[in-house]
Amino acid sequence: MTRPRTTTDARFTFDVLRADTPTLVDFHAGWCRTCQLLDPILDDLAEAWGDRIRIVKLDVEANPHTADRYDVKSIPTLILFDGGEERDRLVNVVRRQAIEVRLGTLVP
């Protein structure tokens, strides 16, 4: 079973920016109820889209530098990176269908 991975400020470049596949990053915090609601959706997406994208989670409280670098002001924020560049951003979206529609337009 494919599951979302965890990354940190120190590993972000390697885990996300240098990844050989598009990577959807979940900027979240442990106390965030909306983020918690998104967790099972991301698990399902990792399983369904695992051959086309990688899903990575970054705790913004434990890793503030990366959150600041990408100007994450609200959580959950999902950012799709491809080739080291930000391709799309979804803020406070917790519906699987909405996420899949966006992914479908961006990921082959």
Q: What is the CATH number of domain 5-106?
A: 3.40.30.10
| Cβ neighbours of residue 16 closer than 8 Å, sequence gap 6 or more | 7, 23, 25, 56, 81
Token pair recorded at residue 49: 């889209």
Question: pLDDT by residue for the chain (108 residues), tens digit each?
Answer: 688 999 999 999 999 999 999 999 999 999 999 999 999 999 999 999 989 999 999 999 999 999 999 999 999 999 999 999 999 999 998 799 999 999 998 887
Q: 57: number of CA atoms within 13 Å, CB side?
A: 21
Termini Cα distance of the chain: 21
Active site residue 32: yes
Q: Among residues 19, 32, 94, 107, which one is catalytic?
A: 32
* Core vs surface per residue 76-88: b (16+ CB within 10 A) or e: bbbbbbbeeeeeb
Q: Is 70 labeled as catalytic in the residue annotation?
A: no
Domain coordinates in residue numbering, the chain: 5-106
How much is the pTM?
0.95
| Catalytic residue chosen out of the listed positions 16, 24, 25, 35 | 35
Q: Give the CB-side neighbour count of residue 32, counting CA atoms within 13 A.
A: 19
Residue type, 27: F
